[in-house]
Chains A and B, each alone.
Chain A
Amino acid sequence: MSTVSSSAAAVSTGTVTLQDVSRWYGHVIALNNVSLEIKPGLIGLLGPNGAGKTTLLRLITGQLRPTTGQVTVLGESAYDGIAYRRQVGYCPEHDYFYDEMTGFDFVTTMTALHGFSKSEARERAQAALEEVRFPLAEGSGTKPISTYSKGMRQKVKVAQALAHDPKLIVLDEPLNGADPLSRHHIMELCKRLGQRGYTVVISSHVLHEVEAVTREFILIDKGRLVAEGTVSAIRDLIDRHPHRIDVVASDARALGSVLVRQAFTASLHVTSERQLTVETPRPDQCYQGLPKLAAEAGVRLLGVSSADNSLEAVFRYLTGSR
């Protein structure tokens, strides 16, 4: 381990630390000068396809070497360190298996390769498969993986990432292909692990599912770290951007003529006789003032909603991809 990473580990309380990390594939930059610290708990790594999520996870799990910068995991250099690997569980995005093996065999083998005896590896494999609700009792554990459905494969991948009880669990799009019930089980499992003090990093582009189980996020886009922190902290970041508020009223044009004179209104679009959209950097003022302004204009307010309350909207704001 280098002196730099040792000192980084000494000052860091995080499980994972990235310092000025960039990663190039030839002339293409996949990750651009990212610095962040990941602490215990459940963290959602969010970004559109091609944002650099998988590259980031492969750097964290030591599969890739950063072109510049340092990646430290549990006090060791992620690429060169060996001992820390016993404390890392990784579920890849794609279905990489020894297809001729059974699911039980695969998880047992992967666990044994972390240094467990054969009998202990079998016990741990069984427990991990049960934890992800793999249908062991129905005999699926004895069939070759090549015969499994996408959802069953997903469970096997997640189970092999958990079976050796790692401190850091890295799951790359673990919900892909899983049925709704499995998605729920996997997310609840991640939530429990996060609450128990494990560091769980889960990447996804399905925002609402991750939003349902954690408030801690890392947002990346085009290789750049767009934001990190809790949803509220991220929301604070976007207060510089105007929020869109959709208003339904009995006379949109009349209400619009009042709203357009208000200081909180950045822009206003009347979309139909009864609907208008206000863009405002101060949404709280807008929400508070709307009923009074509607009364002044002699307009009946029929509904107020914002498309910007979801994390998806937050993400759109921060990446500028409206």
Chain B
Amino acid sequence: MSALPKLEPLLLTLFWRRSVWKPRSLLLLLLVGVDVLGAVFSGQVAPFGYRSAYDQLAADAVFGFLLPFSALQVGTAVVRDEVESGTIGYLLMRPLTRGSILLSRFLGGVGVVMGLTTLALVLNALVMGQAPIGELPRVLAAALLGAAAYTAVFCALGVVLKRPFVVGVLFLLFFELPVSRLPMVARAITIRSNVENLAGVAPETKTLGILMDVQVAPMTSFLVVTGVLAVAMALAVAVFERKEYTPDASA
């Protein structure tokens, strides 16, 4: 079994290699481009409710849209891509545990999402010229955690459901995005608001009224996001280890 540790990186790079050729990669790069265009214009206007225009763009465009949407695209594909192309059988027949197959591909997915998010955040900073470069490592660290948590949630959906993308869109549109802008502590149950909190780019509460005046400690946000990540991946691995995946029995 000495060669087994070498196989997980191979699976990870296989995921990346395949991702390059997917139409969704082009779509996600286009979204980064749109975000950068937004940065060009955002630099010209005053921020609303944020410390700076960079914070506003990071919160609304990157953490509110690009990060969750790219995680949706990539996370749901961690397993479904292989099932739909019928190649899952090849992977499951390799001398690897199912858990390590899933985790390797999940890490590949986090890498893709993080790469896109980093590209957007760094380009935004460069284009706007007014970004707090010193705070970029904190923003990127929060983004990494957010990328992992979102990808884990969508990976779990991809493992459990036959149509994970639709459920993922509903989750983003009717839970993550609206609840993360709710007043009161309710928003702290969303990944987005906790990632913003960790990155230090959350809307300034005092401008939005007393009901928003509930601050969540960064440690609490960290625990919520890592908790979501851990629970989602535990569920995904547990189901993946039990579920049979063959091209005509994939449901």
Query: Shortest Cβ distance from B86 into chain A, in angstroms?
Result: 3
- CB closest residue in chain B, given A117: B6
How far, in whole Å, are A112 and B4 apart by their CA atoms in the complex? 11
Contact across chains for A96 and B14 when beta carbons are under 8 A apart: no
Stretch binding the partner chain, chosen from B72-80, B93-101, B178-186: B93-101
Contact indicator A64/B93 (Cβ below 8 Å): no
Assess whether A115 is in contact with B89, with CB atoms less than 8 Å apart: no
- B4 near A63 with CB under 8 A, answer no
Partner of A90 from B4, B21, B89 at Cβ < 8 Å: B89
Interface pair B244/A63, CB less than 8 Å apart: yes
A80-130 interface (Cβ within 8 A of B): 82-83, 85-86, 88, 90, 92, 94-100, 109-110, 112-116
B3 in the interface, Cβ–Cβ < 8 Å? yes
**List of B residues within 8 angstroms of A82 by Cβ:** 95-97
B92 touches A96 (CB 8 A): no
- Chain A: minimal CB distance from B26 (Å): 14
Residues of A contacting B3 with CB < 8 Å? 115-116
Judged by a CB distance under 8 angstroms, whether A244 is at the interface is no
Does B96 contact A64, Cβ atoms closer than 8 Å? no
Task: Output the nearest chain A residue to B92 by Cβ-Cβ distance.
Answer: A63
Nearest chain A residue, comparing its CB with the CB of B100: A82
Q: Do A63 and B87 form a contact, CB below 8 Å, given A82-B96, A98-B18, A115-B95?
A: no
Q: For B246, what are the chain A residues with a Cβ–Cβ distance below 8 Å?
A: 58, 63-64
A96 near B89 with CB under 8 A, answer yes
Complex formed: what's the CA distance from A61 to B88 in Å? 13
Cβ B94 vs Cβ A96 within 8 A: no
Q: Is B1 an interface residue (CB 8 A)?
A: yes
B90 at the interface (CB under 8 A from A): yes
Of all chain A residues, the one with the shortest Cβ separation from B90 is A110
Contact A85 B86 (CB under 8 A): no
For A92, the chain B residues whose CB sits under 8 A away are 86, 89
Per the 8 Å Cβ criterion, residues 1-25 of B in contact with A are 1, 3-4, 6-7, 10-11, 14, 18, 21
Interface size of B by CB at 8 A reads: 27
| Of the residues A65, A90, A98, A109, contact of B93 by C-beta under 8 Å | A90
Residue of A nearest to B89 (CB): A63
B33 beta carbon closer than 8 Å to chain A: no
Q: Does A62 contact B (CB under 8 A)?
A: yes
Residues of chain B lying within 8 A (CB to CB) of residue A160: 90
**Residue on B nearest A97 in the bound complex, by CB:** B87
- Choose among A100, A110, A114 the residue that contacts B18 (Cβ–Cβ < 8 A): A100
Partner of B90, one of A86, A95, A96: A96
Query: B92 — which chain A residues lie within 8 A by C-beta?
Result: 62-63
Q: Report the bound CA distance from A94 to B249 in whole Å.
A: 14
- Contact between chains at A109 and B96 (CB < 8 Å): no
- Is B161 at the interface (CB under 8 A from chain A)? no
| Given A98-B18, A115-B7, CB of A88 within 8 Å of CB of B85 | no
A116: chain B residues within 8 A (beta carbon): 3
CB neighbours of B14 from chain A (8 A): 109, 113
Q: Which of A35-93 contact B (CB under 8 A)?
A: 58, 61-65, 82-83, 85-86, 88, 90, 92
How many chain-A residues does the 8 Å CB contact rule pick out? 29
Q: Determine if B91 and A113 form an interchain contact, defined as CB atoms under 8 angstroms apart.
A: yes
Best-buried of A63, A65, A100, A114 by chain B (most CB within 10 Å): A63
**A62: chain B residues within 8 A (beta carbon):** 92-93
Q: Determine whether the beta carbon of A85 is less than 8 Å from that of B87.
A: no
A283-307 at interface with B (beta carbon < 8 Å): none
User: Of B7, B10, B94, which is in contact with the most chain A CB atoms at under 10 Å from its CB?
Assistant: B94
Is B129 an interface residue when CB atoms closer than 8 A count as contact?
A: no
B93 in contact with A88 (CB, 8 Å): yes
Contact B244 A113 (CB under 8 A): no
Is the C-beta of B115 less than 8 angstroms from some C-beta in chain A?
Answer: no
Residues of B within 8 A of A64 (CB): 244, 246, 249
| Chain A residues in 8 Å Cβ range of B91 | 113
Distance of A64 Cα from B243 Cα, bound (Å): 9
Interface of chain B residues 140 through 191 with chain A (CB within 8 A):
none
* In the complex, residue of chain A having the shortest beta-carbon distance to the beta carbon of B94: A113
Q: Which residue of B lies closest to A115 (CB)?
A: B3
Set B7, B18, B97: member contacting A113, Cβ < 8 A: B7
* A306-318 vs B, Cβ < 8 Å mask (1 yes, 0 no): 0000000000000
A170's nearest neighbour on chain B, judged by CB, is: B93
Please give the distance in Å from A24's CB to the nearest CB on chain B. Answer: 11
Q: In the bound complex, what is the Cα–Cα distance between A61 and B96 (angstroms)? A: 14
* B97: nearest chain-A partner, CB-CB: A82
| Closest partner residue, chain B, to A116 (CB atom) | B3
Task: Tell me whether A114 and B247 are in contact in the complex, defined as CB-CB below 8 angstroms, given that A98-B85, A109-B14 are known contacts.
Answer: no
Cβ–Cβ contact B247 & A96, under 8 A: yes
- The docked-state distance in angstroms from the alpha carbon of A62 to that of B98 is 12
A115 and B4 form a contact (CB under 8 A): yes
- Are A98 and B89 within 8 A (Cβ)? no
Q: Which residues of B contact A65 (CB under 8 A)?
A: 244
Q: When chains A and B are docked, how far (Å) is the Cα of A58 from the Cα of B244?
A: 11
Beyond contacts A82-B96, A116-B3: 19 other A-B pairs, Cβ-Cβ < 8 A, are A58-B246, A61-B93, A63-B89, A63-B92, A64-B244, A64-B249, A83-B1, A85-B94, A85-B95, A88-B93, A94-B86, A96-B85, A98-B87, A113-B11, A113-B90, A115-B3, A115-B4, A115-B7, A115-B95
